Amino acid sequence: MPFSFIPCSGSSKDPKPGPIPTRVRALEERAACEITFPRLAGYRYEVPAERVSATFNADSHLVLSSQDIPTRTELEPIVGQGEIHTLDDLKRRRENEIAFHLSRLVLQQYFSDDQGNGKPWLFPQVLKIAKHWLADCVRLKDNAFPQLLLLHERAHDAADRIYQAIVRGAQEGAGANGQPPRLLPILRPYDHLGSTRYVDFDTTRHVWSTRPDRCHVSHAVCDTGSWEEKLAQVLEDDDLPVLRYVKNHNLGFTIPYTINGEEHPYIPDFIAVMDDGHGPDDPLNLIIEVTGEQKKDKAAKVATARTLWVPAVNSHGGFGRWAFLEVIDPWAAREAIKARLKSNGMERIQKTPGVCGGAARIRNTRIPVWTIVQLQQLGRTPDELLADFPALGPDDLAAAAEYYRTHRQEIEEDILAQEREP
Query: pLDDT by residue (tens digit) across 278-317?
Result: 788 889 999 999 876 666 677 778 878 887 898 888 888 8
Distances from the Cα of 73 to the Cα of 82, 84, 170, 299, 355, angstroms: 11, 6, 44, 38, 55
Q: In which band, very low, low, confident or very high, does the pLDDT at 344 lie, cut at 50, 70 and 90?
A: low
| Per-domain boundaries in the chain | 22-42+190-344, 48-74+87-179, 347-420
Distance, CA of 303 to CA of 385 (rounded, Å)? 30
Distance, CA of 31 to CA of 217 (rounded, Å)? 9
On the question of pLDDT at 37 being above 90, the answer is yes
Distance, CA of 286 to CA of 325 (rounded, Å)? 7
- Give 36-91 as a DSSP string: EEE-EEEEEEE--SSS------GGG-EEE-SSSS-SEEEE--SSS--EEEE-HHHH
On the question of pLDDT at 175 being above 60, the answer is no
Q: In which band, very low, low, confident or very high, does the pLDDT at 118 lie, cut at 50, 70 and 90?
A: confident
On the question of pLDDT at 51 being above 70, the answer is yes
Q: In which band, very low, low, confident or very high, does the pLDDT at 80 lie, cut at 50, 70 and 90?
A: confident
On the question of pLDDT at 372 being above 60, the answer is yes
Give the model confidence (pLDDT) of 350-366 as tens digits: 777 777 788 888 877 88
On the question of pLDDT at 141 being above 50, the answer is yes
**What pLDDT, on a 0 to 100 scale, did the predictor assign at position 201?**
94
Q: Percent of the chain beyond pLDDT 70?
A: 89
Query: Which among 175-179, 363-367, 372-376, 395-399 has the top mean pLDDT?
Result: 372-376
Classify residue 357 by its DSSP letter: G
On the question of pLDDT at 177 being above 50, the answer is no
Fold (topology level) of 347-420: Arc Repressor Mutant, subunit A (1.10.10)
The most distant pair of C-alpha atoms in the chain lies apart, rounded to whole Å, by 104
Distance, CA of 239 to CA of 124 (rounded, Å)? 59
Least confident range from 93-97, 340-344, 354-358: namely 340-344
**What pLDDT, on a 0 to 100 scale, did the predictor assign at position 225?**
62
Task: Provide the CB-side half-sphere exposure for 117 (13 A, CA).
Answer: 3
**What pLDDT, on a 0 to 100 scale, did the predictor assign at position 178?**
46
Q: What is the mean pLDDT of residues 190-214?
A: 92
Q: Percent of the chain beyond pLDDT 90?
A: 23
**What pLDDT, on a 0 to 100 scale, did the predictor assign at position 176?**
41
State the average pLDDT for the chain: 82
Q: Does the model's pTM come out above 0.75?
A: no
Q: Are 337 and 323 in contact (CB under 8 A)?
A: no
On the question of pLDDT at 15 being above 60, the answer is yes
On the question of pLDDT at 13 being above 80, the answer is no
Q: In which band, very low, low, confident or very high, does the pLDDT at 4 lie, cut at 50, 70 and 90?
A: low
**What pLDDT, on a 0 to 100 scale, did the predictor assign at position 272?**
95
**What pLDDT, on a 0 to 100 scale, did the predictor assign at position 269?**
92
Which CATH code for domain 22-42+190-344? 3.40.1350
Q: In which band, very low, low, confident or very high, does the pLDDT at 343 lie, cut at 50, 70 and 90?
A: low
Residue predicted with more confidence, 57 or 8:
57
On the question of pLDDT at 345 being above 90, the answer is no
Q: What is the mean pLDDT of residues 64-91?
A: 76
Distance, CA of 399 to CA of 362 (rounded, Å)? 8
Q: In which band, very low, low, confident or very high, does the pLDDT at 9 lie, cut at 50, 70 and 90?
A: low
**What pLDDT, on a 0 to 100 scale, did the predictor assign at position 378?**
82
Q: What is the mean pLDDT of residues 136-153?
A: 86
Give the model confidence (pLDDT) of 379-420 as tens digits: 788 778 888 887 777 777 877 877 777 778 888 888 888 877
Least confident range from 32-36, 146-150, 243-247: namely 146-150
